[in-house]
A and B are shown apart, each in its own frame.
Chain A
Amino acid sequence: MRKLFAILLTLCMVFSFVSFASAEDVTITFAFWDNNQEPGMTAIAEAYMAAHPDVKVEVQVTPWNEYWTKLEASAMGGSMPDVFWMHSNQFFKYVTANTLLPMDFEYDYSPYPAGVTALYTYNDVHYAVPKDYDTIALVYNKEIFDNAGVKYPDDTWTWDTLLETAKKLTDADKGIYGFGAPNDRQSGYLNLIYQNEGFAFENGKSGYDQPATQEAIQWWVDLQKVHGVSPSQESFVDMGVDDQMQAGKLAMCFTGSWMMSSYTNNELFADKFDLAVLPQGKTRASIYNGLGYAGAASTKYPEVVKDFIRFCGSEEANKLQAEKKAAIPAYAGTEHYFTDNFTAINIACYPEMIAYGVQYPFSPNKSLWESQEEELMNEVYAGSKTVQEACNELHGIITEIEGT
């Protein structure tokens, strides 16, 4: 018995110190979160390795939730991945803690959307090279339109056209709604706010007290609550707006370009939908956002990291990324590699809208008030607060948080 004990304990010790054999070459780790984009990122890594045989790039995918916990833990412990995706929501947290490697090299940022470049700039220093951008477009179900004999959406549409058409297409008996309007910001009411010439948050100031802003939000909420052209918020809990769209329950909805691979992978739906630019309010607007490639300040190979990131931002890498349907590449002129993948649909409207795109509002303290915004909107949908009350309250909260 004792012998067994001893053997077991030794086995424990032995097994526990198995670790990777270290390569003699330089190995850098490249971390990101979207499994759907893995082929694109791997292609970039392989292209770089082919050109630089002494460097090994290790791709690491971690799902969204765990990605940030891990990045944070690794930042505190000084063991961050060498290169990684950065998101606008998290940027400030990392840059103010000096965990990001400054991109202190001569670089031409003109091919990228100015907003995305600005997102990852702090105190006039660049900390990430733009990777991609996404915009919001109007997706519609051709079959539903055909069955009702209604003309497809086009670029002449306004808010009124949207509402009218939605009403025509709503058929409660069949369980079909004209337009999906969930409690959502980036793919939802934020677009309308800017189309109505209001603003949500700019230069440290909240725009939620603006009449134009409140009006836009009201219009969005009314789609559900007053006109009944949208399913209820409860139903969005059961099934998200994109799932409902793909299930044929909605005639139209707004959706981001990142959803395109999911829509086209659904073989029952792929040939039933098409895209149009967002309808216009007083002006045109579509919310855009973009990811960036960042490096760790604590990396052992800063020059290699910078070189790799430069490569990621290059035209060639953007082409690779786009070919694998990852996302709309940030490098101007390479969008068509992305859009070429989707010949059946009017995918071009996504890149088109960047011309009048509005950067998804961000601030260092956004995380502190964003969830309060969600909770307040929850109450609006539940009927316990009016849009005005919620917005004014939110305005107070933001002003207090950002004011400090």
Chain B
Amino acid sequence: MTTIAQPAAKKKINYRSRGKLIIHIILIIGSFVMIFPFVWMILTSFKSNGESLLIPPTFLPKEWLVENYTEVTRTLPFGALYINTLLLMLLRIICALVFSSMAGFAFAKLRFPFKRFFFFLVLTQMMLPNQIFIIPQYQMLASMNQLNSIFALLFPGLVSAFGTFFLRQFYMSLPNVLSEAAVLDGCNTFQIFFKIMLPLTKTAMMALAVFTAVFAYSDMMWPLIVNNNINMMTLSAGISSMQGQYTTRYPILMAGSTLAMIPMLVLYLIFQRQFIEGIALTGTKG
């Protein structure tokens, strides 16, 4: 019996491993495209000023200059920048998660008048370009005397239309049976929200946390406008402030960008296991 089964099993393994090989090849090519600009950026960060401008460009630096990194850490108060960035991300994440889950749940699961209108307001924010918000928000902060502060950095992100929409989608996919059962048990809306629905969205919340963090991190224009002191800047804003009016010393800019990238990367690597793997465990799909 087994001798007949074996060749069939062998064939199956070959097919699978060939399939896997192809997958790997595609992923590797894709990775190369994704990663190449970074490799370039990091290599440039070790080059000298002159070398970074050479035509034809060199690939590996002739000399690996660490001075670029020491100079950039000397020029920019990285400690303050990291703290501001992390603080900003944390605050924005808290605001986004708290307010968006509340609103997302309501839009997805509750019936109330003017629901469409309110949701349209949410959509409107996403359909408008950010530039029109800058000056009015600046003036609001000025009149509150809150310029040049962490609150100022947080201000545009106090509420998140994106987060609301995102979580609404997620809540919509949660089955209604759960809340219906709870109602029969005598739960009010808040209890349904806190005790039943919210816990099921852990993984979506983590995904939202990651995205909010990335948005907060990459906003380089707002901190430059609303805060004055380099010590009140975030990483992206601090780095872009290194650009001179006419010239930029590329290797130093690259060194700064590399240093700035690290916390985000670390954060993501920690979280990505959590929320991607986590979804499979919560098993909301019936």
A contacts, CB < 8 Å to B: 1-2, 5, 8-9, 11-12, 15-20, 29, 31, 33-36, 58, 60-64, 66, 69-70, 72-74, 76-79, 81, 175, 239, 242-244, 246-249, 256, 258-259, 261-262, 265-269
Contact = CB atoms under 8 A, between A and B. Distances in A.
Nearest to B54: A247
A265 B224 contact: no
Contacts of A74: 138, 142
Closest 9 CB pairs of A and B: A268-B50, A262-B247, A77-B142, A16-B151, A66-B224, A73-B138, A247-B55, A36-B244, A266-B50
Interface in B195-237: 195, 198, 221, 224-225, 228-230
Given A8-B94, A35-B244, A72-B135, 13 more contacts: A16-B149, A31-B228, A61-B241, A63-B243, A69-B134, A69-B225, A76-B139, A77-B143, A81-B228, A243-B53, A258-B245, A267-B49, A269-B50
B246 A266 contact: no
B241 A62 contact: yes
A268 B54 contact: yes
11 contacts: A9-B98, A18-B150, A19-B148, A34-B246, A63-B224, A66-B224, A69-B225, A70-B138, A243-B53, A262-B244, A265-B49
Nearest to B146: A19
B64 interface: no
Range of interface residues on B (Cβ < 8 Å): 35 or more
Given A1-B195, A8-B94, A16-B91, A77 B50 contact: no
Contact of B150 (A15, A63, A261): A15
A272 to B, nearest CB: 10
B55 A248 contact: yes
B109 interface: no
Contacts of A66: 221, 224-225
Given A12-B95, A259-B247, A70 B224 contact: yes
A77 B138 contact: yes
- The main secondary structure of chain B at its interface with chain A is helix
A266 B250 CA distance: 11
A84 to B, nearest CB: 11
Given A2-B194, A78-B142, A62 B245 contact: no
A33 B245 contact: yes
Contacts of A35: 241-244
A5 B98 contact: yes
Contacts of A29: 228
A246 B230 contact: no
Given A2-B194, A73-B139, A267 B48 contact: yes
Nearest to A268: B50
Contact of B154 (A16, A79, A261): A16
B118 to A, nearest CB: 22
B73 interface: no
A5 B98 CA distance: 8
Interface of B: 48-51, 53-55, 87, 91, 94-95, 98, 134-135, 138-139, 142-143, 146-151, 154, 194-195, 198, 221, 224-225, 228-230, 240-247, 249
A262 B154 CA distance: 36
A253 to B, nearest CB: 14
Contacts of A1: 194-195, 198
B241 A20 contact: no
Contacts of A248: 55
Contacts of A69: 134-135, 221, 225
Given A12-B91, A20-B148, A36-B244, A76 B135 contact: yes
A331 B59 CA distance: 46
Given A60-B229, A79-B142, A268 B147 contact: no
Contacts of A12: 91, 94-95
B53 A246 contact: yes
A266 B49 contact: yes
Contacts of A15: 87, 91, 150-151
A35 B248 CA distance: 9
Nearest to B88: A15
Contacts of B139: 73, 76-77
A139 B77 CA distance: 36
Contacts of B240: 63
Contacts of A17: 146, 149, 151
A217 B249 CA distance: 32
A31 B154 CA distance: 23
A183 B196 CA distance: 65
B149 A18 contact: yes
A64 B138 CA distance: 18
A34 B225 contact: no
Contacts of B91: 12, 15-16
Contacts of B241: 35, 61-63
Contacts of B195: 1
A230 B127 CA distance: 45
Nearest to A5: B98
A11 B50 contact: no
A172 to B, nearest CB: 15
Nearest to A239: B55
B237 to A, nearest CB: 8
A284 B259 CA distance: 49
B142 A268 contact: no
B143 to A, nearest CB: 7
B269 to A, nearest CB: 25
Given A12-B91, A259-B246, A266-B49, A58 B150 contact: no
A363 B241 CA distance: 29
B225 A60 contact: no
Given A63-B241, A70-B224, A248-B55, A36 B247 contact: yes
A390 to B, nearest CB: 26
